[in-house]
Amino acid sequence: MRLLQRYILKEIVRNFAFLLIVLTVLLVFVGIVRQAKESGLGAAQIIQVLPFVVLSLLPFTIPATLLLTVCVVYGRIAADQEITAAKAAGINILSLLWPSFLLGAVLSVCSLWLTDQIIPWAVGRIQETIAMALEDIFLERLRSSHHVTDKEHGYSISVMDVVGKKLIGPTFTYTRQGGEPVTIQAQEATLEFDLQKQEVILHLVRGAFGIPGQSDGVFEKEDQPFPLSHSIPPPKPRHLSIRKIRSDLGELRRTISDREHRRNVVMALALSLNDIERLCQQDLIDYGYYQSVDRAKAAKLDTEIHSRLAMSTSCFFFVLLGGPFAIIRPRRQFLTSFLLCFLPILLIYYPVVLLMMNLSKTETVAPAWAMWIANGILLVAGIVVLHKVLKH
């Protein structure tokens, strides 16, 4: 790499790192406040989830930060007449822009890796922290009052003592669907929090159970699940890896196909036997509802895959537009160039992305090409601006 290109790349990397830290620090507090509000985390838990929140915000801060960086660097060197001096020396403008294009391509790959691997991992760690916090709160309530009751879910737990994470002499009472209370007593028990199923599993050891109107029984080990008092939002598609999304999408499509096949078989059999009652079965009546629900889920998952790929490459397209634009409008006030470049992106690019995303989720358009329309607009705009830079 020649001296001039090394100098430009060094300036871009240095400014990008500084601006990324500043922007991430500003946004991380918003993420922390939202996470704490949704999950009821304390100060200690907030400190624990802080690194994971930072990682989950990076894919959203990198494109805008990179655009601001190229506006700063190329706007300054253009205002200092360095671009004019380079052209007078016979240096092609593209040779000055390719360090930013290279960094944009690298960051696009990094953004895809972050959204596909790091964010699901970070969300998993955040959920583990929430589970540990819920476990500590639950054990502390038992340790202080020796009794916990949840009337909404119809269960109560009483203990003689709590040693570490072990319940001594627990008595678990819950109401079955028939309305009959069931009481289980054990020598000891431990708790396991399952956030995916939104439940707590009580692992009971050596005890007995009693059911009104039925004989009592004893057991050596028994697992008794009961719902969480505070539900945790289930992971969204954007918190899953592409491999997991494709696996879930394959299962949904097989379910849709199998349901359609069973429905066709039942209808063909009913029509051949002139069995009108079979055509009025509840399964056939509910067929359209379940098919529409599963198709909507499949469309959302398919849209998530293609939107993730398209949004990750926005780093490169932002640079393709921002670098030449900053050269055309050489200003020392880099914020002016950034705003002039970012406002059309904010008013056109993101609305188009949201529009195509909503249309794809409703199966109006195919996400395989619809999610790339916004990038195509940036590509055309970038080529037009780059042509003006090369021509003049």
pLDDT tens for 213-226 read 565 677 788 887 87
Kindly state whether residue 264 falls inside one of the protein's structural domains.
no
**pLDDT of amino acid 125:** 79
Q: How many CB atoms lie within 10 A of CB 92?
A: 11
Residue type, position 169, single letter: G
Tell me the backbone φ, ψ of residue 162, rounded to 5 degrees: -125, 115
Residue type, position 173, single letter: T
∠ Cα 286 292 293 (to 5°):
90
For residue 190, the cross-strand partners are 166, 203
Kindly state whether residue 70 falls inside one of the protein's structural domains.
yes
Helix or strand run (H / E) with residue 219:
strand 217-227
Question: Into how many domains does the chain fold?
Answer: 2
With tokens 């790091």, the residue in question is 118
Kindly state whether residue 270 falls inside one of the protein's structural domains.
no
- Contact (CB, 8 A) for 125 and 49: yes
Is the pLDDT at 35 greater than 60, yes or no?
no
Q: 126 and 13, same structural domain?
A: yes
Query: Worst-scoring range by mean pLDDT, 2-11, 18-27, 125-134, 216-225?
Result: 125-134
Kindly state whether residue 234 falls inside one of the protein's structural domains.
no
Model confidence pLDDT, tens digit, residues 173-184: 877 665 667 788
Q: 20 and 129, same structural domain?
A: yes
What is the rounded distance in angstroms from the CA atom of residue 110 to the CA atom of residue 313?
10
Kindly state whether residue 340 falls inside one of the protein's structural domains.
yes
Q: 179 and 60, same structural domain?
A: no
Q: 159 and 129, same structural domain?
A: no
Tell me the backbone φ, ψ of residue 69, rounded to 5 degrees: -65, -45
Domain residue limits at 360: 3-133+298-391
Query: Worst-scoring range by mean pLDDT, 49-53, 101-105, 332-336?
Result: 332-336
Q: 43 and 96, same structural domain?
A: yes
Q: 176 and 121, same structural domain?
A: no
pLDDT, average across residues 344-353: 88
Confidence of residue 278 (pLDDT cuts 50, 70, 90): low
**pLDDT of amino acid 101:** 92
Indicate if the alpha-carbon torsion angle 29, 32, 38, 42 is positive or negative: negative
Kindly state whether residue 233 falls inside one of the protein's structural domains.
no
Domain limit, last residue, from 227, 256, 282: 227
**pLDDT of amino acid 42:** 61
Q: 72 and 40, same structural domain?
A: yes
Kindly state whether residue 278 falls inside one of the protein's structural domains.
no
Domain limit, last residue, from 227, 245, 272: 227
Domain limit, last residue, from 207, 227, 247: 227
pTM: 0.72
- Contact (CB, 8 A) for 123 and 235: yes
Kindly state whether residue 308 falls inside one of the protein's structural domains.
yes
Q: 102 and 21, same structural domain?
A: yes
Confidence of residue 237 (pLDDT cuts 50, 70, 90): confident
Q: 116 and 72, same structural domain?
A: yes
Q: 121 and 19, same structural domain?
A: yes
Q: 15 and 117, same structural domain?
A: yes
Q: 127 and 8, same structural domain?
A: yes
pLDDT, average across residues 89-94: 84
